[in-house]
Amino acid sequence: MGAKPTEPESGSRIHIEAAKIPELIPTVVLFPYDKMGKSASGITCDTTGGQFGPFPGQLFVADQSHSTLMRVDLEEVGGRWQGACFPFKKGFASGNVGVEMDASGAVFVGGTNRGWGSRGPKPFAVERLDWTGKVPFEIQHMRLRPEGFELTFTQQANAATAEDVSSYELATYTYEYRSQYGSPEVDATEPTITAAKVSEDGMSVTISVDGLQLGHVHQLNAPGVRNSNDNPLLHSKAYYTLNAFCQ
């Protein structure tokens, strides 16, 4: 069964405004408030060809309030950029602000809380993050497909768990486009995952979805998926911002 893309009765708030304002380009990736962070800050890109791990070409975004580093995987669909954000690394010493990756694949993070407050308790910090060489079991890519989403893994998945639709949870919501600071989650829906098919090599799975929503964050959780050693995903959650459907 193919995906049935729909739009809520009230419409996607941001996309309604974009239709009225030709200059308005929908946000490429939304970071759900408090689920991913509260104050996204510095951005760097892995242009080292994978010396920072199995995520070449992806973005790494700091968050000041949560003292974290987040990961972003982008794609272009129907002339629009969109993609998914993932949790990546927590436990930094201060509120992360500046972030830079050097040619060797080392990431340098500068942080301060300067009265704003952050989970990292130090008033300031400069830290270096290096890849250990060990590949974690992660969702490497989350890409839109006509029938739903394709998830690519960094390790071979256990087919029985990855093809079990009960291994996944999917919800959507969007935000109001307004002048006030912030917005609540609005127009929430619960799409149905109707099937999951693992590739022959076990490195990806295509999940068929009824109820994709234009302009919504698609919040995926895959707590039931295991790798070939029966280990769960290091981070089971992903948040995909859908700005355009596959043609």
Residue 168, domain member (yes or no): yes
**Assigned domain for 76 exists:** yes
User: Is position 212 within any domain?
Assistant: yes
Tell me which residues of the chain have a pLDDT lower than 50: 1-2, 4, 6-11
Q: Is residue 202 part of a domain?
A: yes
B/e letters for 83-100, b = 16+ CB within 10 Å, e = fewer, are bbbbbbbeebbbbbbebe
Q: What is the dihedral of CA 197, 198, 199, 203, to 10 degrees?
A: 150
Full-model pTM: 0.92
Do strands 204-213 and 4-6 pair parallel, antiparallel, or not at all (unpaired)? parallel
What is the predicted pLDDT for the residue at 21? 79
Say if 15 falls within a structural domain. yes
Distance CA 212, CA 135 (A): 31
CA angle 104, 105, 109 (to 5 degrees): 120
What length is written for the chain? Answer: 247
pLDDT at 14: 64
CATH code for the domain of 193:
2.60.40.1220
Q: Establish if 73 belongs to a structural domain.
A: yes
- Whether 247 maps to a domain, the answer reads no
pLDDT score of 228: 96
SS (H, E, C) 213-245: ECCCEEEEECCCCEECCCCECCCCEEEEECCCC
Residue 246 lies inside a defined structural domain of this protein: no
Q: Report pLDDT for 2.
A: 45
- Please give the pLDDT value at position 179: 85
Tokens representing residue 24 in the block: 């308005």
Reported as a single tens digit per residue, the pLDDT across 18-40 is: 677 778 888 999 999 999 999 99
Q: How many domains does the chain have?
A: 1
Residue 188 is classified by DSSP as E
**In the chain, helix, strand, coil percent, each to 5?**
5, 45, 50
Please state, in angstroms and rounded to a whole number, the distance separating the CA atoms of residues 143 and 108.
Answer: 29
Question: Do residues 44 and 101 make contact, with C-beta atoms less than 8 angstroms apart?
Answer: yes
CA distance 225 to 53: 21
Structural domain boundaries enclosing 26: 4-241
pLDDT of residue 16: 67
